[in-house]
Structure 1
Amino acid sequence: MTLFRWEDTPSLRHHCGFCSRPLSHPGSKQSCLGVHAEPCSRFHQALFMRGHSHDCMACNGMDEAHYKRHIEIAETLRGLYDSCGLPSSI
């Protein structure tokens, strides 16, 4: 079984928001990860205080771009239906 491995990123240079221990400290794996801090739910190299992994800027940006693409596709389809004189169910 392969476990997720943290790379040396700027996220690990921060401190735990609960106990202020540097997240790069070897002891932070037992005392902070999972107890005080949790990783991004989509495995981005970022740690958040427990319950705040939904604040990941990379995930939020991806979700927003995904939503915009769907809106653009729906608008394009609506235009095609209108130009063909077909009823649009979108």
Structure 2
Amino acid sequence: SIGNQTQGEDIADNGGLKAAFHAYQNWAKNNINVDKKLPGLTKYSTEQLFFINFAHFWCTKMTDAYSLNQIITGVHSLEHFRVIGPTSNFNEFDRV
């Protein structure tokens, strides 16, 4: 994905993460079960788990052919950049 080819979707990914996080925070304020965690995940805050889930959503195993095709023709950045970009641009990620 060449920069100007993916720019619009990259901006949308940034805004989408921010909107989703703020929606999660509003939901969490009114949910009495928000602090319940699965075994093995108790060391993470609920906000950290939000970001772990966000990154997990984009986990994928890509072939070289897929990656090259996505770079040349795709309107979205490669999946790992769809995590790195929005989290790097979001102060709340650094805070939690």
**TM-score above 0.5:** no
Larger Rg: 1
Higher relative contact order (CA 8 A, sep 6+): 2
TM-score, normalised by the number of residues in structure 1: 0.31
Greater strand content: 1
Higher helix share: 2
